[in-house]
Amino acid sequence: MILSIQNDNSGETKREEIIKSSGVKISSCFQCQKCSNGCPLAFTMDILPHQLVHSIQLGFVDQILNSDTIWVCASCETCTTRCPNDIDIAHLMDTLRQMSVKRGIKESQKQVQVFHTAFLNSIKRFGRVHEASMAVEFAYRNGGLQGVREQLNLGLEMIRKGKIKLVPHRLIGNKAVKKIFREANKGDPT
């Protein structure tokens, strides 16, 4: 993807917003490309991780917020671990996804946001991930009742083999987890 050159003051303002929101010091990136070379999903990205950091440095924020890369990133933290300057690129990607959602930018990879929502809803309800309920919510949000029906046989087979539990495990600290979500959502208009 070739980024258009239009670094104006709004680009600088948006760059500073990203730096402030994420707490990530992108200025220490010297483009060694270790993040991109180690990324297991680089082949699916339109902007590689090192290019993304460089684009933010240049103020090309709108192109980044509209890219596939922020939605494809699995947050596996390989990039963060490999970075010789301790730049938390995985956290930067998460910040960019949040900014994109808050600005109403339509995500390019719908299933990523659906999965993310189902995952967090499962943690909110049970204090940890309950795979069965998360899978049902994910299938429903993706394809309605038809989506759930399509996944039913696979889910029943996994339950039969003991791969996932039908009933969620009780977590002693569930109230503490719910409190964390409440605190995190304070002042968040979304």
CATH number of domain containing 40 = 1.10.1060.10
Angle between helices 89-102 and 9-22 (to 10 degrees): 120
> Pick from 116, 111, 114, 147: which is nearest to 129 by CA?
116
Say what the pLDDT of residue 111 is. Answer: 80
Q: What is the per-residue pLDDT for 33?
A: 96
**Among the listed ranges 104-113, 123-132, 148-157, which one has the minimum average pLDDT value?**
104-113
Tokens 């989506």 correspond to 147
Mean pLDDT, range 96-116, rounded to an integer:
83
Res 95: pLDDT: 92
Distance of alpha carbon 40 from its chain centroid, rounded?
A: 15
Specify the number of domains making up the chain. 2
- Look at residue 11 in the predicted model and tell me its pLDDT: 62
Q: What is the pLDDT of residue 53?
A: 95
Look at the pTM and tell me if it is higher than 0.75: no
Whether residue 123 contacts residue 177, with contact meaning beta carbons closer than 8 Å, is answered with yes
Residues 89 and 114 in one domain: no
Contact at 8 Å (CB) between 86 and 48? no
Same domain for 55 and 76, yes or no, is yes
Q: What is the pLDDT of residues 159-185, one digit of tens each?
A: 889 888 888 877 788 888 888 888 887
Instruction: Evaluate if residue 138 carries a pLDDT over 80.
Output: yes
Averaged pLDDT for residues 145-156: 88
42, 74, 102 - which closes a domain: 102
Over 80: is that where the pLDDT of 3 sits?
no
> 190 or 28, which is more confident?
28
Query: When comparing pLDDT for 189 and 159, which is higher?
Result: 159
| Residue-range definition of the domain harbouring residue 120 | 110-184
- Say if 9 falls within a structural domain: no
User: Which among 102, 124, 150 is the end of a domain?
Assistant: 102
CB burial of residue 89 (10 Å; 0-12, 13-18, 19+): buried
163 with 119, same domain?
A: yes
